[in-house]
Structure 1
């Protein structure tokens, strides 16, 4: 659970993101106000195309806002160059992706140790020791010498979680971590994230599944690039479903 009066790891004020396609502006995010406190578990939920992954990319310093203010560990990010963002990202952010993104010709231990190769002063022996500890925390220490292709999808995602936490990041960002898994393996990965959160890990997770967002301390709802309240979110969902049913009826009975 979030400690009392915990300072935010990430804070956004009026953040927007616009992508240009020629002369056309695509406003993906608009006027986002959001803070994630240390030790908090936040779910970001919404339909496909609403801006969830873009928001996570901004939080992980993979991209920059077009407008608004963002702070990462109390440091403004507006003036940071690419190298500075990369340094902060490697030192303080762990990523878990829907597609696992493990390197096929590296062992499980080498995959997990990979983020540490960019940390100064950490030799190969220490990297592998820390990788072994991270793998033990996700129940995969017995697979250290295996390759990703020898693992099931659920096992690969557990390895991906170990890789994300091996550097003891300030925040773990998970983009649809259960998206490529069946229900049982998805529940196992969510249980793992729950244990990490209980141990103090700050987590922000993108999901479209309310069963999994219920595990978070709170859920941020996105619609059309904006944060909305629960009532608005469910009302708009109902309207969209009614509109779809009406269109289907007209197709069957023109």
Structure 2
């Protein structure tokens, strides 16, 4: 899908994230410069521990950067308080998590409607109607009265996508959306995300699975808390794999 609009939903300028534990500092992200434009499908790839999920958490206003400038949906959010971030998050951001994060004792319909309960002025009947529309959009309307425990993993993830969509967010953030699914159900969820993108949704996805990563318009590579170009990524990945093979050979010869 070509991107007609150049307006950026997410803008990052020199973003860094440092976690501190006593005198110890862990620089998880370093000098990130990144734009996600309206209508794009972005995939963020890289090895475990490279900072992908931390980057997504900053985009989703679940955490704040240690330094740099972050704008989401046109709002500068770097210095917002927790309550202000929560309001902005509820208005503009939809989340899909690897572990689904559905509430077991709520029906599918109530799970999907849940984000709307935190919006002022949205009445119960409107919440129900919008939840029904979102479930229909992901092909799960027939399960609206069931509970999460009665669904397969793939069905639960589709419900999670419906919950992410119910508030009509500016951007959908998906953190390893196929990570807990087998190949068939993973492909179903990816086909759903591709269809949503085709209808104009802006999506940013973190994935370990390179097969699914290449579904996106743009693939962002990360290593050691930094965004790197593809050639650098492949070179460093090869060097790391060669180093691991050498260590294994040395250990086996002892």
Contact 1:70–1:78 (Cα < 8 Å) also in 2: yes
Moved more, 227-236 or 74-83: 74-83
Aligned counterpart, 2:157: 157
Change (3 A) 1:42 1:214: same
Aligned counterpart, 1:48: 48
Contact 2:5–2:39 (Cα < 8 Å) also in 1: no
Shift of 1:124: 1.2
Contact 1:12–1:68 (Cα < 8 Å) also in 2: yes
Give the Cα–Cα distance (whole angstroms) in 1 for the partners of residues 184 and 5 of structure 2. Answer: 36
Change (3 A) 1:5 1:113: closer
Aligned counterpart, 2:182: 182
- Tell me the secondary structure at the aligned position of residue 132 of structure 2: helix
Aligned counterpart, 1:101: 101
Contact 1:2–1:37 (Cα < 8 Å) also in 2: no
Contact 1:2–1:38 (Cα < 8 Å) also in 2: no
Q: How does the TM-score come out when normalised to structure 2?
A: 0.98
Give the Cα–Cα distance (whole angstroms) in 1 for the partners of residues 210 and 169 of structure 2. Answer: 26
- Tell me the secondary structure at the aligned position of residue 20 of structure 1: strand
Equivalent residues in 2 for 1:80-159 (5 A)? Answer: 80-159=80-159
Shift of 1:78: 2.2
Q: Write out per-residue CA displacement over residues 107-152 of structure 1, whole angstroms, 9 at most, x where no aligned residue.
A: 0000000000011111111111111110011100000000000000
Aligned counterpart, 2:63: 63
- Tell me the secondary structure at the aligned position of residue 174 of structure 1: strand
Corresponding position: 1:234 with 2:218: no
Computed over aligned residues only, the root mean square deviation of the Cα atoms, in angstroms, reads 0.9
Give the Cα–Cα distance (whole angstroms) in 2 for the partners of residues 145 and 73 of structure 1. Answer: 34
Q: How does the TM-score come out when normalised to structure 1?
A: 0.98
Aligned counterpart, 2:199: 199
Structure 2 unaligned residues grouped into runs of 5+: none
Structure 1 unaligned residues grouped into runs of 5+: none
Equivalent residues in 2 for 1:29-44 (5 A)? Answer: 29-44=29-44
- Tell me the secondary structure at the aligned position of residue 169 of structure 1: coil
Contact 1:45–1:208 (Cα < 8 Å) also in 2: yes
Contact 2:19–2:26 (Cα < 8 Å) also in 1: yes
Shift of 1:5: 4.1
Give the Cα–Cα distance (whole angstroms) in 2 for the partners of residues 251 and 23 of structure 1. Answer: 34
